Structure 1
Amino acid sequence: MKLPATTVLEHPSLLFKNLEDVLKPRVLLARKVQEMGLDLQINGRMMVRAMRMTERRFLKVFVNCHPKDAADELMEYYKNVKGVKRLAEASKRNFQKGFPF
């Protein structure tokens, strides 16, 4: 996220957030907003607040505030980023052949 390491000390709740489901998609969405040249509302301290928001509120505050066509493009991008799973997770199989093995 390119935040200083002291941010984790100041906001320990970031340790409880899932990197793949919460942190990474929101940071990538903030970069996409910046690339599109839209008003970037997520910066510095607001980034930490955005991480603590529920997904519904996050989308309302940071995506749906833009014009309709830009909001639709951002939602599509967010869904694509959120849907990407780790490489081995899709092919992972849990076989259990008896007690504990």
Structure 2
Amino acid sequence: MYRQQNDVDYGKRKELLTAIDKPPYYAGKLISTVLTMCGGLRTDSSLLVKDANDQHIPGLYVVGAAQGEFFANDYPTICPGIGHGRCVTFGRMAGIKAAGGDIDKLLPSLKV
């Protein structure tokens, strides 16, 4: 797949493909988990889940690992905890919205 520059199995972007063609080769057991998913429920900045017709489902919010399309095109190799920041950040935002609050008034903006 590297030589073809086309990952037909998993769709990895060609600039991330690497040739593995120089021995010696080694293998090891990796004791790690990745607590996130590719896919998930579709949403936008409102954090409301969208149905098959791209319409919001009132009152149904999604955050964290279940929030879709974050890893839609590529997946990080091993990044334990990568979804936790999304859970905390977007969870707070969804909670404020679900309680009828205004995110823009309650959360300070960062000037970058």
TM, length-normalised to structure 2:
0.27
Structure showing the higher helix proportion among its residues: 1
Larger Rg: 2
TM, length-normalised to structure 1:
0.29
Structure showing the higher strand proportion among its residues: 2
Higher relative contact order (CA 8 A, sep 6+): 1
